[in-house]
Amino acid sequence: MNFELVFNPYPGIGHFRSTVELAKLLVEHESHLSISVFILPFISGGEVGASDYVAALSAASNNRLRYEVFSAGDEQTSELTSNDVHVENQVPKVKRAVAKLVDEYLTLPDSLRIVGFVLDMFCTSMIDVANEFGVPSYMFYTSSGGVLALGYHIQMLYDENKYDVSESDYLDSEAVLNVPSLSRPYPVKCLPHALASKVWLPLYVCQARKFRELKGILINTVAELEPYVLKSLSSGGTPPVYPVGPLLHLENHVDCSKDEKQSDILRWLDKQPLSSVVFLCFGSMGGLSEEQVREIAIALERSGHRFIWSLRRESTNIFKEPPREFTNLEEVLPEAIPEGFFDRTKDLGKVIGWAPQVVVLANPAIGGFITHCGWNSMLESLWFGVPTAAWPLYAEQKFNAFVMVEELGLAVEIRKYWRGDHLPGPATISVKAEEIETTIKCLLEQDSEVRKRVKEISEKCHMALTDGGSSQTALQTFIQDVMKNICLT
């Protein structure tokens, strides 16, 4: 019997790429499986590389892995909006597309059967669509298992009227939460802003309730990375979980003929000693204030270490415009960067705009990574065995930082409790040069325990994706469970 899964990834490049890697892996491992990936309109329309990536996928469509691109039509997608509203607006399109597939398959001699939806964590409104077509829903959770478990725990506390975190003072709170999936108390001040916000908290609680309706949850993690979390998630009362990661988009090549600046960076890296360069990169939403830029510049110069710094302009309103490239760093930031910084450090490092992160991390010259702690970035650094310094900026990144530093010992900290968030809420407080300089020196220490731990986990991440590895086994279990669920419908 041939069967098909419909994938509904969230249209953000970090979510989308790992979902595509999962789809590729599934069709590679099950010859009777086909997948249709529905590509919803991107909200901002301006994520680096998104349009080229979508075009390449469309060109690569085949009978077993098809990509259907939904146009924005008359929708206003130039401004960032809430995830749930944007996805809800796509529901009629998804219904029509699935209905068309069903009709199409009825005319085929060896008919395909749609047997389930695989949804993104921000696409839970599609559960109702799957129910209308009489098929089960699964989820691909693009963040860590720990974040999923935290969401479940807070939803339970909220529903029992035991969650009393106040948006106005949680950042100054000394209170802790005893989260079952963590081995130590979790500081309330480390909560993502959304889980303290009066506006956002009810939405995330509702989302966690919807997760409980799913038949199963694939997680972009590794059993050996989060064993304590996965044990907690498997204790009953929630859908089964399948740790199938790390699912990474590693085809991040630079075309020398098209991008001379990027090629120059990579040529420079190739000339540097092994593990000698610190890489600073803060993700697609990671713009910095002039005050913070100045502190980083001072720290880099004082440290004396080689560096590559991916620097992007801070957005005045993250809901209307993501951070953008600087056209000329020396002209735009004369007040932020100390006078003469570029001349004094021209042989020591490079200040650039957007960076081909995977290619940079893969270079053996990279000895440390100062990161915003997005989950994809954390997995990429572990894959390449590069120790990280945690500098969370928004979303669930404060949680990721806590786990990597405190729970797992896989990162060093910029500051114990980072106070700041790009979303509406408390103002960001700059980290001083002295703290950054100390962190850089600690990060590049060659015999540190963190570096040893990262190397061990890196090897386990690679093993997980080999035949018989934990992630491969979880993937096979998921396919078997999908087949069992077909028999029950």
Q: Check whether residue 100 and residue 86 sit in a common domain.
A: yes
Q: Check whether residue 109 and residue 225 sit in a common domain.
A: yes
251 in a structural domain: no
Q: Check whether residue 233 and residue 291 sit in a common domain.
A: no
pLDDT at res. 424: 43
Q: How far apart are CA 260 and CA 485, in angstroms?
A: 52
Q: Check whether residue 90 and residue 225 sit in a common domain.
A: yes
pLDDT at res. 419: 59
85 in a structural domain: yes
* Residue whose C-alpha is closest to residue 279's, from 344, 355, 171, 373: 355
255 in a structural domain: no
pLDDT at res. 73: 65
Sign of CA dihedral 118, 124, 126, 131: positive
Q: Check whether residue 296 and residue 311 sit in a common domain.
A: yes
Q: How far apart are CA 345 and CA 351, in angstroms?
A: 10
Structure tokens at 297: 């510049």
213-263 per-position pLDDT tens digit: 999 999 999 999 999 999 999 987 899 999 999 999 887 555 544 567 778
Q: Check whether residue 269 and residue 353 sit in a common domain.
A: yes
Q: Which of 203, 237, 272 finishes a domain?
A: 203
Phi and psi for 397 in degrees, rounded to 5? -70, -30
Q: Check whether residue 53 and residue 94 sit in a common domain.
A: yes
DSSP secondary structure letter of residue 273:
P
Q: Check whether residue 330 and residue 456 sit in a common domain.
A: yes
pLDDT at res. 322: 63
Q: How far apart are CA 475 and CA 489, in angstroms?
A: 22
Per-residue pLDDT of the chain (489 residues; tens, 9 = 90+): 789 999 999 988 889 999 999 999 999 999 999 999 999 987 755 566 678 888 889 888 898 999 999 987 655 544 445 667 888 889 999 999 999 999 988 887 677 899 999 999 999 999 999 999 999 999 999 999 999 999 999 999 999 999 999 888 898 899 999 999 999 999 999 999 889 999 899 999 999 999 999 999 999 999 999 999 999 999 878 999 999 999 998 875 555 445 677 788 889 999 999 999 999 999 877 778 788 888 999 999 999 999 999 987 766 655 566 666 666 666 656 667 778 888 899 889 999 888 889 999 999 999 999 999 999 999 999 999 999 999 998 889 999 999 999 999 999 988 766 555 554 444 456 889 999 999 999 999 999 999 999 999 999 999 999 999 999 999 999 999 999 988 665
pTM, entire model:
0.92
- Whether cis (ω within 30° of 0) applies to the bond prior to 246 is yes
How many of the other CB atoms lie within 10 Å of CB of 407?
A: 17
Q: Check whether residue 318 and residue 365 sit in a common domain.
A: yes
254 in a structural domain: no
Cα dist. 291→298, 310, 430 in Å?
11, 16, 7
Identify the burial level of 233 via C-beta atoms within 10 angstroms of its C-beta, where 0-12 means exposed, 13-18 middle and 19 or more buried: buried
Q: Check whether residue 379 and residue 269 sit in a common domain.
A: yes
208 in a structural domain: no
The per-residue DSSP string of 260-272 comes to HHHHHHHHHHHTS
Specify the pairing of strand 349-352 against strand 411-413: unpaired
Q: Check whether residue 154 and residue 290 sit in a common domain.
A: no
Q: Give the count of domains, the chain.
A: 3
331 in a structural domain: yes
17 in a structural domain: yes
Strands (E), 320-409: 349-352, 366-371, 388-390
298 in a structural domain: yes
Specify the pairing of strand 176-177 against strand 186-187: antiparallel
pLDDT at res. 48: 60
Domain with 176 in it: 147-203
- Residues 471 and 463: beta-carbon distance below 8 Å: no
pLDDT at res. 235: 83
- Residues 278 and 304: beta-carbon distance below 8 Å: no
Q: How far apart are CA 180 and CA 228, in angstroms?
A: 9
Q: Check whether residue 239 and residue 191 sit in a common domain.
A: no
pLDDT at res. 50: 78
Q: What is the CATH number for 387?
A: 3.40.50.2000
pLDDT at res. 327: 64
User: Residue 384 contacts by C-beta under 8 Å, 6 or more apart in sequence?
Assistant: 361, 362, 366, 458
The three-point CA angle 423-249-315 to 5° equals 25
Identify the burial level of 67 via C-beta atoms within 10 angstroms of its C-beta, where 0-12 means exposed, 13-18 middle and 19 or more buried: buried
* Residue whose C-alpha is closest to residue 417's, from 294, 280, 282, 426: 426
pLDDT at res. 486: 81
